[in-house]
Amino acid sequence: MVIKNKDGTVYKVKGPNPIMLEQDLWNDFELHNMEFPDDVVNQNIAKKPTRNKINLGQTVVAKQDEIRSEVSVKTPAFVEEKPPQKKQEFFFQEAQITQEIKPPQPKIDEEEIVEKPKSVNNKLLNYPKTVLCCLPTDVQEKKDLLYGEVTTKITYGKKFTFEAILIEETDMHLLFWTHLEKIKRFAIFYPKNQEKRWWQADAIKSAPEGFVVKCIPSMQHPNF
C-alpha cells in the first residue's frame, strides 16, 4: 500500500534509515508449506444469503372494552370454595443471657466441726475471722540422681473446715493466719464468704503461734 500525503502525492522518505545499514539481509532461504495454488489464495468467497424478513402483519391496539366483549368466560355449574389458607407467621425472640456463669458451688455442711485455734496473738485480734473449707495435700518430691530433675507428686486428702484470721484479700491473692501445721503447699481453700472463690496455697511462712499462708487463684474447683 502506497503512503500518500494529504494532497494525494506519493510520500517520499528523506533518506535511508541508518538502522538499515546494520541489518543483515537473507539472500539464501527456503520456504516450507508456502506454495499455495491460485484458486486458494485468490478465491472468491460467496457471501451468505440474507435471511428473509418475517412479515408479522400490522400492530393493532385493542381497547379495553373490545377485549372484554370478545373474551367469554365459562364458569362451571358448581365450584367448591376452599377456605383461604392462613399464612404461618414465625416470630423469633432473642434470648438474653443475664445470669453470670460461675463454677459449681461446693456443698457445705453447716453441722461440720470447725477447728478453731485455742489462742490468738494479740496483734491479730483486730483482723476479721473467717471459716475456710480445705482440701489438704500430700506433696512428695523425687529427684533424679542422673539428670537432677525434680518431679512433684500431689495427693489430695479428706476435706476439713477450720477457722482462720483473714489478713488481706484481693483479686489476685489471699493472705490468712492459721494455727494448723497440716496445711501444706498446693492445698485448695474455699472461704465461706460472699466472694465464692477457690484459692490454692502458694507459700507458707511461720508466724507467732501459727503460720501465714499466701494463696493464689486456683485452677481447680473441687466439690467438697
Tell me the CATH number at 152.
2.40.10
Between 224 and 7, where is the model more confident? 7
Q: Is 9 within the bounds of a domain? A: no
The domain in which residue 192 lies consists of 114-217
Backbone angles phi, psi at 118, to 5 degrees: -75, -35
For 147-172, write each residue's pLDDT tens digit: 888 888 889 999 999 999 999 999 89
The pLDDT value given to residue 18:
79
Q: Is 163 within the bounds of a domain? A: yes
Length of the chain: 224
Angstrom distance (rounded) from CA 204 to CA 202: 7
Q: What angle do CA 104, 157, 106 make, to 5 degrees?
A: 15
Q: Is 77 within the bounds of a domain? A: no
Q: Is 122 within the bounds of a domain? A: yes
The pLDDT value given to residue 95:
46
Mean pLDDT of the chain: 77
Residue 108 predicted with pLDDT over 90 = no
Total domains in the chain come to: 1
C-alpha cell of residue 167:
489478713
35-44, 48-57, 143-152, range with the lowest pLDDT: 48-57
